[in-house]
């Protein structure tokens, strides 16, 4: 196994598209991490000329130790268990000394250090009629209600000023302990390094922010005021976003984690949109 550091965005993103990489394994995520003071390295493990595993690593001090963290990775091109084991061994040797953690898509044969998170994903490859058909009936009725009003979805330029009300609402929710997610400051870092990758949509007093990364995209933040909630504006925005992202060539939309304990309404909203729940692997030492 040959572990190579990938130094160009074009090469990395071509590899990332092949495995439909999530946001934490995309180039712009690493750029944003560097913007907030982290060290980032990007590795691909090859078997001859064939890529086997992809891993973007963010390094930070934790409990006085240098920690290398691979979030939502490594991503494997080959499903063979022996090949994966050898790839992990190669990655472990390539990483600097210190704690080496991974929270991969699929379970590794390692001691688990956390509970396995669950996410919601929307497959955007079916036809538009197919996407509507797979929505839960209640969700689809909410969408029809919003469509019957004069509400229109507008796309705004995702400038820092336009993002600020949404980020402040997100900060308030996280401070209230309603759920845990990336801090709003990281979204600003994403805006600084890749403003053209952000998609900010609004209808009434509701907003939703998405990040496009190659052939996949991520729902980042959303907020709605009383008018938006009464008119099901988020149903309308998400449906509009699904159509626009599909037209851009996005094949999968990551709606983020599901927390049925702290945010049951949000979890239901995501799943009823037609998304599929998928349990990821827990964090583990590699």
- DSSP lists the bridge partners of residue 121 as 254, 276
One domain, residues 103 and 124? no
User: Looking at the predicted structure, is the pLDDT value of residue 79 above 80?
Assistant: no
Above pLDDT 70, what percent of the chain?
98
One domain, residues 103 and 122? no
One domain, residues 275 and 150? yes
Q: How confident is the model at residue 76 (pLDDT cuts 50, 70, 90)?
A: very high
- Which domain range does residue 44 map to? 2-109
Half-sphere exposure of 174 (CA within 13 A, CB side): 14
d(C-alpha 138, C-alpha 25), whole Å: 34
Contact 98, 67 (CB under 8 A): yes
Burial of 49 (0-12, 13-18, 19+ CB in 10 A): exposed
Does 128 fall in a domain? Answer: yes
Report pLDDT for 107: 74
Contact 74, 53 (CB under 8 A): yes
Domain boundary residue among 78, 109, 140?
Answer: 109
Mean per-residue pLDDT of the chain: 93
Range in 106-110, 113-117, 191-195 with the lowest mean pLDDT: 106-110
Phi and psi at 200, nearest 5°, equal -110, 120
Does 30 fall in a domain? Answer: yes
One domain, residues 146 and 175? yes
One domain, residues 102 and 154? no
Report pLDDT for 109: 67
One domain, residues 47 and 175? no
Domain boundary residue among 109, 133, 158?
Answer: 109
Does 33 fall in a domain? Answer: yes
Residue 106 or residue 280, greater confidence: 280
Report pLDDT for 172: 87
What's the pLDDT tens digit per position in 185-210? Answer: 899 999 999 999 999 999 999 999 99
d(C-alpha 197, C-alpha 262), whole Å: 29
CATH of residue 18's domain is 3.40.630.30
Three-class HEC string of the chain: CEEEECCCHHHHHHHHHHCCCCHHHCHHHHHHHHHCCCEEEEEEEEECCEEEEEEEEEEEEECCEEEEEEECCCEECCCCHHHHHHHHHHHHHHCCCCEEEEECCCCCCCCECCCCCEEEEEECCCCHHHHHHCCCHHHHHHHHHHHCCCCCCEEECCCHHHHHHHHHHHHHHHHCCCCCCCCHHHHHHHHHHCHHHEEEEEECCEEEEEEEECCEEEEEEEEECHHHHHCCHHHHHHHHHHHHHHHCCCCEEEEEECCCCCCHHHHHHHHHCCCEEEECCCCEEC
Give the number of domains in the chain. Answer: 2
Domain boundary residue among 68, 84, 109?
Answer: 109
Q: How confident is the model at residue 179 (pLDDT cuts 50, 70, 90)?
A: low
d(C-alpha 238, C-alpha 224), whole Å: 13
Residue 79 or residue 117, greater confidence: 117
Question: Sheet of 198-203: strands edge to edge?
Answer: 154-156, 198-203, 206-213, 216-224, 252-257, 118-123, 276-279
One domain, residues 81 and 175? no
Q: How confident is the model at residue 78 (pLDDT cuts 50, 70, 90)?
A: confident
Give the mean pLDDT of 75-79: 86
Does 165 fall in a domain? Answer: yes
Q: How confident is the model at residue 93 (pLDDT cuts 50, 70, 90)?
A: very high
Give the mean pLDDT of 54-62: 92
Does 7 fall in a domain? Answer: yes
What predicted TM-score, i.e. pTM, was given to this entire model? 0.94
One domain, residues 221 and 259? yes
Does 140 fall in a domain? Answer: yes
Question: First-to-last CA distance in the chain?
Answer: 16
One domain, residues 239 and 125? yes
One domain, residues 77 and 184? no
One domain, residues 90 and 198? no
Report pLDDT for 106: 78
Does 286 fall in a domain? Answer: no
One domain, residues 180 and 63? no
Give the mean pLDDT of 95-119: 82
Q: How confident is the model at residue 143 (pLDDT cuts 50, 70, 90)?
A: very high
Does 77 fall in a domain? Answer: yes
- Reading the block at residue 159, the tokens are 């400038």
């Amino acid at each position: 196994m040959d572990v190579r550091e990938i130094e160009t965005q074009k090469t990395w993103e071509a590899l990332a598209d092949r495995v439909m990489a999530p946001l934490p394994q995309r180039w712009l995520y690493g750029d944003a991490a560097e913007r907030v003071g982290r060290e980032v390295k990007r590795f691909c493990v090859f078997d001859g000329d064939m890529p086997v595993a992809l891993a973007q690593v963010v390094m930070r001090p934790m409990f006085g130790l240098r920690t290398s963290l691979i979030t939502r990775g490594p991503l494997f091109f080959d499903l063979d268990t022996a090949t994966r084991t050898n790839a992990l061994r190669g990655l472990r040797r390539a990483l600097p000394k210190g704690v080496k953690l991974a929270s991969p898509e699929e379970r590794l044969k390692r001691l688990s250090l956390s509970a396995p998170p669950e996410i919601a994903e929307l497959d955007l490859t079916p036809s538009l009629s197919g996407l509507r058909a797979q929505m839960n009936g209640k969700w689809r009725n909410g969408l029809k209600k919003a469509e019957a009003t004069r509400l229109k979805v507008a796309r705004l330029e995702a400038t820092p000023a336009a993002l600020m009300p949404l980020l402040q609402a997100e900060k308030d929710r996280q401070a209230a302990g309603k759920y845990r997610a990336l801090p709003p400051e990281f979204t600003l870092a994403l805006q600084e390094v890749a403003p053209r990758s952000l998609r900010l949509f609004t209808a009434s007093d509701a907003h939703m922010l998405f990040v496009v990364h190659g052939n996949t995209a991520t729902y980042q933040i959303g907020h709605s005021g009383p008018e938006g909630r009464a008119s099901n504006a988020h149903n309308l925005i998400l449906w509009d976003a699904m159509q626009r992202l599909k037209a851009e060539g996005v094949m999968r939309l990551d709606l983020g984690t599901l927390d049925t304990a702290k945010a049951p309404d949000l979890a239901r909203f995501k799943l009823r949109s037609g998304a599929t729940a998928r349990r990821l692997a827990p964090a583990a030492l590699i």
